[in-house]
């Protein structure tokens, strides 16, 4: 495990209508989302890796589809600096994952179908009115990046 990364397994409640999953409760997590978005990723496609200077991401992976999520700790003040981890998340392992600033992250759709993810970051994309610089270090565009997703 990487220090300060929160992984919460999500429970699906199934009945004849389908299923329901609670994805966020403020009484369970000390986290306040500023916005949310949904993305669909095609099979074999990679998103990231990148990191944020001050933003935390709160990803929800429920399905359809599945991802391999990769995390690398770059924080100088972290007891797990230099540690890396990866895990399968999505349809077969519904999960909420909070990624703090300084942890490089990215994911790849590993299913035969497009995979859905939800993000509830704690900062607005490009700030108020989309008028600020993006809080992102884009490791995926650096050919010398030590952070690779295969």
Mean pLDDT computed over every residue of the chain: 96
Backbone angles phi, psi at 4, to 5 degrees: 75, -5
For the stretch 88-130, pLDDT in tens is 999 999 999 999 999 999 999 999 999 999 999 999 999 999 9
Q: Please report the DSSP string for 77-103 in residue order.
A: T-TTTT-EEEEEEETTB-EEEEE-TTE
Average pLDDT over residues 37-53: 98
Average pLDDT over residues 3-12: 96
Enter the pTM of the model. 0.94
What is the residue extent of each domain of the chain? 6-124+136-141
Per-residue model confidence (pLDDT) at position 142: 95
CA 5 – CA 56 distance, rounded (Å): 10
CA 57 – CA 65 distance, rounded (Å): 20
Task: State the pLDDT confidence band at 29, using cuts at 50, 70 and 90.
Answer: very high
CATH of span 6-124+136-141: 2.60.120.10
CA distances from 33 to 29, 97, 99, 123 (A): 11, 13, 13, 7
Task: State the pLDDT confidence band at 87, using cuts at 50, 70 and 90.
Answer: very high
Token pair of 14, please?
């199934």
For the stretch 62-71, pLDDT in tens is 999 999 999 9
């Amino acid at each position: 495990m990487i220090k300060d990364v929160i992984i919460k397994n999500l429970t699906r409640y199934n009945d004849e209508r389908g299923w329901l999953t609670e994805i966020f409760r403020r009484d369970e997590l000390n986290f306040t989302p500023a916005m949310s978005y949904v993305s669909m990723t095609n099979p074999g496609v990679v998103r990231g890796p990148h990191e944020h200077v001050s933003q935390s991401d709160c990803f929800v992976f429920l399905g359809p589809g599945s991802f391999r999520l990769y995390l690398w700790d770059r924080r100088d003040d972290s007891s797990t600096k230099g540690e890396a981890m990866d895990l399968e998340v999505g349809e077969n392992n519904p999960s909420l994952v909070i990624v703090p600033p300084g942890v490089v992250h990215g994911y790849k759709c590993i299913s035969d179908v497009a995979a859905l993810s939800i993000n509830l970051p704690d900062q607005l994309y490009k700030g108020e009115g989309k008028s600020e610089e993006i809080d992102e270090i884009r490791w995926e565009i650096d050919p010398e990046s030590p952070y690779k997703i295969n």
